[in-house]
Amino acid sequence: MKTLYTCLLLLLCLAVGPALAQDLLMRRTGEEIQVKVLEITPAEIKYRRTDNPDGPLISVWRTDVFMIRYANGTKEVYDQYGRSAAPAAVLAAPGAAGTGSGTAPVPGAVPTLSAAAPDDILLDEAIHLDGPRLGFTVLTGGVLDKAQERLPELSPFLTQFGWQFESRLFRLPNGVSAVAEFIPLVGGLEQGQFIPSISGILGVRGPKGFEFGLGPNLTPLGASLVLAVGTSFRSNGINFPVNVAVVPGNGGARISLLVGFNARRR
């Protein structure tokens, strides 16, 4: 009987051991993921999910990670700039005992993002992204008529090539970010034309990548307002934005579809 108990205890240790040998990664959105951290670079944290140990190597910006709790029980906390931060404070629930604003520091405690933490706390992390953009623009109605007054042979379909400069101004704990974009483009090269345009867009991006914004647009045809919606896909630290922009005016509109990629400027 003693031998049976010993075997059962050994099997239990073998079953529990792998479950305990895992790291916990907490994102700034509050999401917790069971992972095995494989590499930490000055900009990224690379890991595999423990529920898919043979799956792809996943990379995440250090600025998107709040804390890692390693399998041995140690913790590493990152500030809003992706730097390792010394344990200092807890974001307490609003109205917690002994606090006036609900965010009083607790000496010696490890910072945590409580589910009850107020959503209006700003995580001040300005991040700059840039990269190429390409796509096409369709001119409709009066916009095409006005353009053809200067360029009679102009087709309503124009290719676009340019560059995107983006700054993330701040992000809330729920993952919503404010972004500012500056996008210079050149259109009509396939028709032997050089038609520049410049857009400045102030917008909002959700935690899943959906974004919308508006701002001024300037071309040789005049100034107008541009409305843009889109989303961004992310892979291996590279963002792949897809956007649709509409510039109304002159009894018609300019409708553009732009794609590209961008990466964080070091």
Which CATH number fits the domain that encloses residue 176?
2.40.160.20
Do 78 and 150 share a domain, yes or no? Answer: no
Please indicate, yes or no, if residue 215 is contained in any of the structural domains: yes
Please indicate, yes or no, if residue 147 is contained in any of the structural domains: yes
pTM equals: 0.57
Do 70 and 155 share a domain, yes or no? Answer: no
Residue carrying structure tokens 């009894």 = 251
Do 260 and 183 share a domain, yes or no? Answer: yes
Tell whether the model's pLDDT for residue 121 goes beyond 50: no
How many independent structural domains does the chain possess? 2
Among positive and negative, which fits the CA dihedral 124, 168, 215, 208?
negative
Q: How far apart are CA 81 and CA 62, in angstroms?
A: 8
> Quick check: 140 and 252 in contact, CB under 8 A?
yes
Do 211 and 139 share a domain, yes or no? Answer: yes
Better-predicted residue by pLDDT, 106 or 212:
212
Q: Mark which of 68, 85, 102 sits at the end of a domain.
A: 85
Do 151 and 253 share a domain, yes or no? Answer: yes
Please indicate, yes or no, if residue 160 is contained in any of the structural domains: yes
First to last CA, the chain: 64
Please indicate, yes or no, if residue 169 is contained in any of the structural domains: yes
Please indicate, yes or no, if residue 10 is contained in any of the structural domains: no
Do 135 and 70 share a domain, yes or no? Answer: no
Do 163 and 228 share a domain, yes or no? Answer: yes
Do 197 and 145 share a domain, yes or no? Answer: yes
HEC string of the chain equals CHHHHHHHHHHHHHHHHHHHCCEEEEECCCCEEEEEEEEECCCEEEEEECCCCCCCCEEEEHHHEEEEECCCCCEEEECCCCCEECCCCCECCCCCCCCCCCCCCCCCCCCCECCCCCCCCCECCCEEEEEEEEEEEEEEHHHHHHHHHHCCCCCCEEEEEEEEEEEEEEECCCCCEEEEEEEEEEECHHHCCCEEEEEEEEEEECCCCCEEEEEEEEECCEEEEEEEEEEEEEECCEEEEEEEEEEEECCEEEEEEEEECEEECC
Which CATH number fits the domain that encloses residue 47?
2.30.30.100
Please indicate, yes or no, if residue 8 is contained in any of the structural domains: no
Better-predicted residue by pLDDT, 115 or 227:
227
Residues 42-86: tens digit of each pLDDT? 888 999 998 888 888 999 988 889 999 998 889 999 987 788 875
Do 76 and 144 share a domain, yes or no? Answer: no
Give the confidence band of 110 by pLDDT, cuts at 50, 70, 90: very low
Do 131 and 77 share a domain, yes or no? Answer: no
Q: Mark which of 85, 111, 142 sits at the end of a domain.
A: 85
Do 247 and 145 share a domain, yes or no? Answer: yes
Q: Mark which of 60, 85, 110 sits at the end of a domain.
A: 85
Average pLDDT, whole number, for the chain?
79
Please indicate, yes or no, if residue 165 is contained in any of the structural domains: yes
Do 132 and 210 share a domain, yes or no? Answer: yes
Please indicate, yes or no, if residue 245 is contained in any of the structural domains: yes
Range of the domain at 247: 127-264
Q: In the beta sheet, which residues pair with residue 166?
A: 129, 181
Tell whether the model's pLDDT for residue 266 goes beyond 80: no
Residues 239-262: tens digit of each pLDDT? 899 999 999 987 899 999 999 998
Q: How far apart are CA 206 and CA 208, in angstroms?
A: 5
